[in-house]
């Protein structure tokens, strides 16, 4: 049976950072986005409010900024190699992230079968962000179920990789999970735990019976 590998982005594929942070770095707005990140992590705001405020913060964002943020992000090594191995083995890999879709979807070029992020308008922004398109931790599970059906993968053959509170629901919904450079929210919730900078090593843990 084919397996479905579900990857978080922020803190997991990008070590020690997140897409909004890297985008804000290009705009010289690290302090401002840092405050939003802290409010989100403390539960003072939810994903829709975070998205609306970061959308306003990025009023000067251009496609060139997004490209620079993507190219300079501190990615784990071995991502494309892992996804190539998954594909060649007849399995599937997908990214599900609360970060903006215009950033997440770039990972399709690296070999992901699917990439889902919170729906933001095209860059540069000419429209407001629609709260209905902003993902949550629960939405990750819904998307995972849709992907499982799309690829005809049995529930017992799903693997999740994540690092934080937004992955708790997804970890509970799959039989195998790998906490990648994870925070306290995933303590004791993962099948395997990995700390390091190479996705190939985290992927190898998921192959352990």
Query: H or E stretch including 146?
Result: helix 137-150
The C-alpha angle 38, 42, 44, rounded to 5 degrees, equals 95
The C-alpha atoms of residue 198 and residue 206 are separated, in whole angstroms, by: 14
Strands (E), the chain: 4-7, 92-100, 114-118, 158-162, 176-180, 192-194
Give the model confidence (pLDDT) of 136-181 as tens digits: 999 999 999 999 999 999 999 999 999 999 999 999 999 999 999 9
| Helix, strand, or coil (residue 173) | helix
The C-alpha atoms of residue 56 and residue 54 are separated, in whole angstroms, by: 5
pTM across the whole model: 0.96
Give the model confidence (pLDDT) of 74-118 as tens digits: 999 999 999 999 999 999 999 999 999 999 999 999 999 999 999
């Amino acid at each position: 049976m084919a397996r479905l590998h579900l990857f978080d982005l922020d803190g997991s594929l990008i070590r020690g950072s997140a897409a909004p942070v890297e985008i804000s770095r290009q705009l010289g707005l690290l302090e401002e986005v840092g405050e939003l990140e802290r409010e989100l992590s403390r539960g003072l705001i939810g994903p829709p409010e975070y998205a609306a405020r970061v959308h306003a913060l990025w009023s000067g964002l251009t496609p060139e900024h997004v490209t620079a943020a993507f190219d300079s992000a501190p990615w784990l090594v071995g991502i494309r190699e892992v996804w190539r191995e998954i594909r060649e083995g007849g399995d599937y890999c997908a990214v599900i992230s609360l970060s903006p879709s215009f950033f997440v979807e770039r990972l399709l070029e690296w070999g992901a079968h699917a990439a889902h992020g919170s729906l933001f308008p095209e860059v540069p922004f000419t429209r407001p962000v629609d709260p209905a398109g902003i993902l949550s931790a629960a939405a990750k599970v819904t998307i995972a179920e849709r992907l499982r059906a799309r690829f005809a993968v049995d529930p017992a053959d799903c693997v999740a990789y994540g690092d934080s509170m937004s992955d708790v629901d997804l970890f509970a919904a799959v039989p195998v999970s790998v906490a990648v450079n994870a925070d306290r929210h995933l303590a004791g919730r993962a099948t395997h735990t990995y700390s390091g900078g190479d996705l190939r090593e985290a992927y190898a843990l998921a192959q352990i019976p």
